[in-house]
Amino acid sequence: MKKSLWTGAALAAIVAGSVSAQDLSGETITVFGTWLTPESDVIESIFDVFEEQTGATVKYVGSDSFEQQIIIDAEAGSAANISIFPQPGLAADLASRGFLTPLKEGTAEWVAENYAAGQSWVDLATFADQDGNENLYGMFFRVDLKSLVWYSPENFEDAGYEVPETMEDLKALNDQIVADGGTPWCLGLGSGAATGWPATDWVEDLLLRTQTPDVYDGWVSNEIKFDDPRIVAAIEEFGAFALNDDYVAGGAGAVASTDFRDSPKGLFASPPQCYMHRQASFIPAFFPEGTQVGEDADFFYFPSYADKELGNPVLGAGTLLAITNPSEGAQALVEFMRDPAAHEIWMEAGGFLTPHKGVDTSKFSSDSERAMNEILLNATTFRFDGSDLMPGGVGAGSFWTGMVDYAGGKDAGEVATGIQSSWDSLK
Amino acid sequence: MHPAIQGLVTIIFGVGGCVGYFYFSNIVLDKVLFPARGVHAGRNINRANLVRPWLFLFPALAALSLYLAYPVVETLRLSLTDRKLDGAFVGFANYSQMFSEEKFWEALSNNFLWLLVVPAMSTIFGLLVAQLTDRIKWGALAKSLIFMPMAISMVGASVIWKLVYDARPEGADQIGILNAVYIFFGGDTPQTWLTMPFWNNFFLMAVLIWIQTGFAMVILSAALRGVPEETVEAAIVDGANPFQIFFKIKMPQIMTTVVVVWTTITITVLKVFDIVFAMTNGQWETQVLANYMYDKLFRASDWGVGSAAAMIIMLMVSPILVWNVRNARKEMR
Amino acid sequence: MDNIAGQKSSLTWAVHISVVVLVVLWLLPTVGLLVSSFRSADQIATTGWWKSLFPQEQNLVIRTERPDAQEFIDGVYVLEGNLFELGDAADGVVSVWGTSSREIDAYSAGETADLGDKGLLTIQANGDYRFENQSEFSGSRGQRVFMTAVSPPSFSLDNYRNVLFSNSSSSSMGKAFINTLTVSIPATIIPILIAAFAAYALAWMDFPGRALLVAFVVGLLVVPLQLALIPLLKLHLGVGIGKGYLGVWLAHTGFGLPLAIYLLRNYMVGLPKDIIENARVDGATEFQIFVKIILPLSFPALASFAIFQFLWTWNDLLVALVFLIDSSGDTTVMTRQIIELLGSKGGNWEILATAAFISITVPLIVFFAMQKYLVRGLLAGSVK
């Protein structure tokens, strides 16, 4: 007991702000999220530290049908103390119905100060409650980087290709690969009930590379309509990659139905089915068994246009902790998650990026993850995955289905108009 | 207490409680309230017989009203209100919004297609299997094998069929058997079966037919065995061929069971969304009402329209309801 | 007579053949899954399961051993070994191979490739390789080799080991198994009992509104489960049942009743009228008639419904998640355990396939056990 108190005190000294190891013996804190094995083991080991410090018991439950269950539990009044939301849109929705409890005062200031691009992380988790009052409801923990292109360095070497630095180079590389008789991209939109989402990332990334961040923000909040020519142009930009039979493995017709989890495997096939795969930082989990990131596979930043002068925009996403059933312990646990140690445990386990500036980057499990985190921290423009911010009916509904229709050959303008009208109907 | 022991105790209490309830309530009725003795014996017997059905029905009705009827009323209320306006009554606004959505009409027409095909095919296959396996030695084995899909969860079944329908790029090894067969028989390019508008509906239906045939088979083969031997033997003596025996002798006798099976599968079709959800999520024009409802409830969190969709699903069952009431009336005569 | 006999046997053949065709059609998807459950994820994703039963030609990518394993023999640096072993692949026969992804068939087995300053690489048909160089091998990884090889079928029990005995889930899978039984058995028996009484009343007792009640029951069959979840969970929390076994038993009972009543009533209506009327004339009470005559005669129907209800509760995840599994996570069921194994992003065919077969075993045992009763009940019926 003494030891744990001491560790607590030591940690309190390390952490900026004031984490005091409260005595929460006997209190049980329940946490609900989407993480399953192996992530659930990691989050539980983080909670173990908290348990040791405070004497509280933390119970974590993960579910694959989070979005449905959180609504049922919140409505019925049996939600866990803390819920870990996979996207802010759903949390905002629950906040507007009064199911979330604002985080302790001072959290916003702390996040703004200690996270890279801190204010944007605060803004992303600030929602209106049922009376329209704005509060900070969530703290981001674990971030995904989306603007990455994965490739096999040895295949590039065999063919004599260079990693493209600009979008112009990338497009030239596309044509060169085709001219050499290869296929540049592996691309799959299939994801069961969520089919279509990989395309939304493409459109968002391309929008950030063709328009200013203001346009992106306006689009996400629907001040700029979905069928605005600038947005339609970004969709068509995606089409230039995905709808070209020569550019995608299996031809454009296979894009919509290929599972996104299967699609990167073409990089490693013999002979290779493709040379590049644009996907977020989590995708190595779906590489063939034994693939080593940094050796067999590597990534480069999905480049921006040299002649557009929009800097190097980065697209990301993240999960946020929010309190769905208030208790003293719940607030304490959220506060504990500010601790760099909490982030470092997962950094060591791998597959974890964080905007926390206070973490020891030598703890990253690999150089490539350190490099990814570097991209995240050094982004001139960081934008959060737009589809996660849009209302569920659009961001997890008509945007997905619309992109599937587009990949199936529907006209971009028509698709965009359809998505906009579904947004309008949400009132 | 260990949950398993708790379970055992519950079974004993639950079962004991139920039996006790039925037993003692009957005794109370017959011996205490309306004893069949004395001056009013005859009147009492009549009165007891008036009350008794309700004794038998009470537990079931209580559970049904609480667990199913009450949510229906709640749904009806939700479908007429808007929770964003603090649950204000909005009349048919949710319905008219739903009717203006293209996806709803797509779902509705697909649902009719499902209703037409799935119950019919499942019942026909089920009947076929039940009849064919009736007299062969390894019939029980064959039945078990055909029943097997029933034992797989809907999500498991979706996985199995995704593997069947899988399409790999041209030239690569196919891992979906349907494409492998298609290519073997001279198909040129691998087909992505689940994205073919209109026809993909049938590929999804195949999954449900595959599952429900086992259900139809079990019920129908019990019914077929219930057909009195004498009637069949008489027909054989009269020189009827097997087809005549089946259609003229057996079918009429099991007709009510066929109706029951048909009804049950029809209702399953109306409710099923797991298959569509897991395989296409209603994209490529495969939307059905149940998945549309789910989408509205939990994705768009639009409870008004979601509830309205549920009411439509329940409305669609009304013709079957009427049919069953008429059937029940006929039986009672 | 001969003619009829011949006709009969050809008909019997037709029956046998059509049953075989149906069974094969129905079995094919499941067999695919069964075979897949013995293969690794990469195998499933690269070749069709039906091919795995025969030796097949595969394109493999395997690395030679890392440079730190090199030996200095007779003035040259040498790396030696067997590629199939290194790649954890089943032994096969190499036909052609290459070292560049652009030319995977540059050399035949037994040939030596001159890789310039990287050295000389020879690969034999059995996968043995010898890589030699005048200067020392450097770098952290071995040379990539692309081989086209014919490999014999290879299966493993790894997936089953993974699902049943992986360290994180071994104890919980056993616990989940018991929990699932704890949910399923009462949730099967209680509704049957309640429904049987109700079905008897609806089938054989005369009272006003009977047909309407039947319609009520059929109408409730169609209520989508998703709608009932929130009001009922609220109710359970409100009256203090909370989340737990009692709640899930009640919920399964409520949701299973309409089908139970409907199926049982239909069966009971078909029972011979004279038996019941004779018993009534003999002075038996309704309760006695029900217990002594109706229940034994309805055994096949009871058994078939028991099978369905058991399957439904066994395979259920949604009701368990809502009414049983609270946020403390102490209670779990098999279906949830499987979802847990599938991981956050899902899509692991091999685990799905394996899990499907593990969870199917109990329902199948139940079905086989019940099938006996189905027959016995029928015999009892035919003696009447």
Q: Are residues C81 and C11 in the same domain?
A: no
Q: What percent of chain C has pLDDT over 70?
A: 91
Task: Report the half-sphere exposure of A294 (CA within 13 A, side-chain side).
Answer: 10
pLDDT digits (tens, 9 = 90+) for C28-39: 888 888 888 888
Query: What does the DSSP assignment read for C149-208?
Result: EEE-----SHHHHHHHH-TTTHHHHHHHHHHHHHHHHHHHHHHHHHHHHHHHHHHH---T
Whether C194 and chain B come into contact, CB under 8 Å, resolves to yes
**Res C377 pLDDT > 50:** no
Q: Which residues on chain B are in Cβ contact (under 8 Å) with C360?
A: 148, 151-152, 156
A182 beta partners: none
Q: What percent of chain A has pLDDT over 70?
A: 95
How many Å apart are CA A171 and CA A159, to the nearest integer?
A: 17
How many Å apart are CA B82 and CA A36, to the nearest integer?
A: 35
The per-residue pLDDT for B332 is: 62
Would the CB atoms of C340 and A62 count as touching at under 8 Å? yes
- For β-strands A28-33 and A82-85, DSSP reports them as parallel
Closest chain B CA to residue A427 = B84
Rounded to the nearest angstrom, the minimum Cα separation between C218 and chain B is 7
Q: Are residues C145 and C170 in the same domain?
A: no
Rounded to the nearest angstrom, the minimum Cα separation between A80 and chain C is 5
The class of domain A2-144+316-384 in CATH terms is alpha beta
**Res A6 pLDDT > 90:** no
Would the CB atoms of A257 and B295 count as touching at under 8 Å? no
pLDDT bin (cut points 50, 70, 90) of residue C151 is confident
Q: Which two tokens stand for residue B165?
A: 């329908």
Q: Which two tokens stand for residue B121?
A: 């095919």
The span from the first CA to the last CA of chain C, in angstroms, equals 34
Residues 32-71 of B with CB under 8 A from C: 49-50, 52-54, 56-57, 59-61, 63-64, 66-71
Helix (H, G, I), strand (E, B) or coil at C344: coil
Would the CB atoms of A63 and C102 count as touching at under 8 Å? no
Whether B255 and chain C come into contact, CB under 8 Å, resolves to no
Q: What is the DSSP letter of B150?
A: G
C112 beta partners: C122
How many Å apart are CA A232 and CA B300, to the nearest integer?
A: 24
CATH 3.40.190.10 domain extents, chain A = 2-144+316-384, 148-314+386-424
Angle, helix B70-79 to helix C225-239, in steps of 10 degrees: 110
Give the domain-ending residue among C134, C152, C170: C152
Q: Are residues C147 and C214 in the same domain?
A: no
In a domain, residue C50? The reply is no
Q: Which residues on chain C are in Cβ contact (under 8 Å) with B242?
A: 11
Q: Which two tokens stand for residue C195?
A: 């429904």
Q: Which two tokens stand for residue A25?
A: 């013996």
The per-residue pLDDT for A5 is: 38
Nearest to C360 among B151, B163, B298 (CB): B151
Angle subtended at Cα B14 by Cα B10 and Cα B18, rounded to the nearest 5 degrees: 170
pLDDT digits (tens, 9 = 90+) for C321-353: 888 887 666 778 888 777 777 766 666 778 878
pLDDT digits (tens, 9 = 90+) for A289-321: 788 888 889 999 999 999 888 888 889 999 999
Q: Which residues on chain B are in Cβ contact (under 8 Å) with C363?
A: 150-151
| Helix residue spans in A15-97 (DSSP H) | 39-54, 66-76, 88-96
Q: Are residues C6 and C113 in the same domain?
A: no
C323: CB partners within 8 A, 6+ apart: C232, C233, C236, C243, C247, C248, C250, C251
Q: Are residues C20 and C64 in the same domain?
A: no
Chains with ≥3 Cβ pairs under 8 A against C? A, B
Rounded to the nearest angstrom, the minimum Cα separation between B147 and chain A is 27
Q: Which two tokens stand for residue B82?
A: 């808007």
Would the CB atoms of A158 and C343 count as touching at under 8 Å? no
pLDDT digits (tens, 9 = 90+) for C57-71: 888 888 888 888 888
CB A356 within 8 A of CB A343: yes
pLDDT digits (tens, 9 = 90+) for B52-75: 888 888 889 999 998 889 989 988
Q: Are residues C28 and C92 in the same domain?
A: no
What is the domain range of residue C64?
55-152
**Res A341 pLDDT > 70:** yes
Q: How many distinct structural domains can be found in chain C?
A: 3
Sign of CA dihedral C198, C202, C205, C206: positive
Backbone angles phi, psi at A28, to 5 degrees: -110, 130
Q: Are residues C376 and C338 in the same domain?
A: yes
pLDDT bin (cut points 50, 70, 90) of residue C274 is confident
CB count within 10 Å of CB C189 equals 20
Task: Report the half-sphere exposure of C128 (CA within 13 A, side-chain side).
Answer: 3
Average pLDDT, chain C: 82
A226: CB partners within 8 A, 6+ apart: A219, A416, A417, A419, A420, A423
In a domain, residue C42? The reply is no
Q: Are residues C167 and C249 in the same domain?
A: yes
Kindly state the helix (H) or strand (E) to which residue C57 belongs, with its residue range: strand C56-63
Which range has the worst mean pLDDT, A19-23, A318-322, B181-185, B191-195? A19-23
Distances (CA, A) of B250 to B213, B226, C314, C382: 19, 10, 35, 16
Residues 83-122 of B with CB under 8 A from C: none
Would the CB atoms of C322 and A28 count as touching at under 8 Å? no
| Helix residue spans in C282-329 (DSSP H) | 286-288, 295-297, 299-315, 318-319
Would the CB atoms of A63 and C339 count as touching at under 8 Å? yes
Q: Are residues C191 and C226 in the same domain?
A: yes
More confident residue, B84 or B175: B175
CATH number (3.40.228.10, 3.40.190.10, 1.20.140.10, 3.30.870.10) of A148-314+386-424 reads 3.40.190.10
pLDDT digits (tens, 9 = 90+) for C155-196: 888 888 877 776 554 457 777 888 888 888 889 988 998 999
Segment B111-137 mean pLDDT: 90
Q: Which long-range contacts link B39-47 to residues 24+ away (Cβ below 8 Å)?
A: none
Q: Is A49 left (phi over 0), alpha (psi -120 to 50) or beta?
A: alpha
The per-residue pLDDT for A332 is: 92
Residue whose C-alpha is closest to residue A146's, from A277, A314, A284, A263? A314
The b-or-e profile of A307-340 (16+ CB within 10 A means b, else e) is: eeebebbbbbbbbbbbbbbebebbbbbbbbbbbb
Segment A190-210 mean pLDDT: 89
**Res A9 pLDDT > 50:** no
- Which of A27, A29, A30, A37 should be substituted to probe chain C, the one whose Cβ sees the most C Cβ atoms within 10 Å? A37
Average pLDDT, chain A: 87
Which range has the worst mean pLDDT, A51-55, A214-218, B27-31? B27-31
Would the CB atoms of A262 and C104 count as touching at under 8 Å? no
How many Å apart are CA C30 and CA B129, to the nearest integer?
A: 18
Helix (H, G, I), strand (E, B) or coil at A335: helix
User: Chain centroid to CA B302: how far?
Assistant: 27
Angle subtended at Cα A18 by Cα A14 and Cα A21, rounded to the nearest 5 degrees: 85
Segment A15-33 mean pLDDT: 72
Give the domain-ending residue among C152, C178, C212: C152
- For β-strands C120-123 and C93-98, DSSP reports them as unpaired
CB count within 10 Å of CB C254 equals 24
**Res A4 pLDDT > 60:** no
Q: Are residues C235 and C356 in the same domain?
A: yes
Closest chain A CA to residue C317 = A65
Q: Which residues on chain B are in Cβ contact (under 8 Å) with A193?
A: 277-278, 281
Q: Which two tokens stand for residue B197?
A: 């508008």
The per-residue pLDDT for A3 is: 37
The per-residue pLDDT for C373 is: 67
Whether C311 and chain B come into contact, CB under 8 Å, resolves to yes
Any idea which residue has 């090199």 for tokens? C70
pLDDT bin (cut points 50, 70, 90) of residue A208 is very high
The b-or-e profile of A227-248 (16+ CB within 10 A means b, else e) is: bbebbbebbbbbbebbbeeebb
The domains found in chain B, sorted by start residue, are 3-79 (no CATH), 93-332 (1.10.3720.10)
Closest chain B CA to residue A96 = B84
pLDDT digits (tens, 9 = 90+) for A400-414: 889 988 998 899 999
Q: What percent of chain C has pLDDT over 90?
A: 7
Instruction: Tell me the whole-structure pTM to 2 decimals.
Output: 0.85
Q: Are residues C68 and C173 in the same domain?
A: no
**Res B258 pLDDT > 60:** yes
Q: Are residues C86 and C179 in the same domain?
A: no
Q: State the CATH number of the domain containing residue C238.
A: 1.10.3720.10
Average pLDDT, chain B: 84
Closest chain C CA to residue A39 = C344
CB count within 10 Å of CB A93 equals 22
In a domain, residue C43? The reply is no
